[in-house]
Amino acid sequence: MAAAILRYFVRAHAPRVAIVAPVFRSFGGRRRFHGAIATLRCFEDNSLVRERLGEPGDGRVLVIDGGGSLNCALVGDQLGALGVKNGWSGVIVFGCVRDTAALGAMDLGVLALAPHPLKSVKRGAGERDVTVAFAGVSFAPGAWVYADEDGVVVAATPL
């Protein structure tokens, strides 16, 4: 994506785009990323995150509704590497990540609320392919997300 691409999308496609509230920090090595949305809803349990990132990403972005929890990390270096290996463009976590130095060296977009050193539990709880909502926006499976240094926007169709 070219520099300032989000500004263009907002001007050219408003009101067809939803602007995500600026609550995320960038932790991945890829600062600009986009793709079709795949979703998960899981609270302090990253079992489904591992499962999903182990599948072919085909350039998609995994959007994880972790309930905004600041109690543990849902993504770390091993899951980040799995996402890179399987062709995911990025991961947006409404929650925390860990191993941020390693994530920063990966060709993967990673946005999250904060870093946290504690691993999550693994009970297999959660939902996949459901519409999730946080930061003032709904993220539906199959919609498109675009992220760069200036923020994140969501569109129902590719821009």
Is the pLDDT at 41 greater than 60? The verdict is: yes
Cα 17 → chain centroid: 17
Q: For residue 53, what is the enclosing H or E element? A: helix 47-53
| pLDDT interval class at 4 (50, 70, 90) | low
Across the range 139-154, mean pLDDT stands at 96
Averaged pLDDT of the chain: 93
Tell me how far apart the alpha carbons of residues 129 and 107 are, in angstroms, rounded to a whole number: 24
Judged by DSSP in three states, 97 sits in strand
Instruction: In whole angstroms, give the CA distance from residue 52 to residue 40.
Output: 9
From the candidate CATH numbers 3.50.30.40, 1.10.8.10, 3.40.190.10, 3.90.950.20, the one assigned to the domain spanning 5-155: 3.50.30.40
**Domain boundary assignment for the chain:** 5-155
Residue 6 has pLDDT above 90, yes or no: no
pLDDT at position 16 is 80
Task: Give the C-alpha separation, 57 to 89, whole Å.
Answer: 7
pTM of the model: 0.92
What is the per-residue pLDDT across 90-124, written as a single tens digit (0 to 9) for each?
999 999 999 999 999 999 999 999 999 999 999 99
How confident is residue 10, by pLDDT bands cut at 50, 70 and 90?
Answer: low
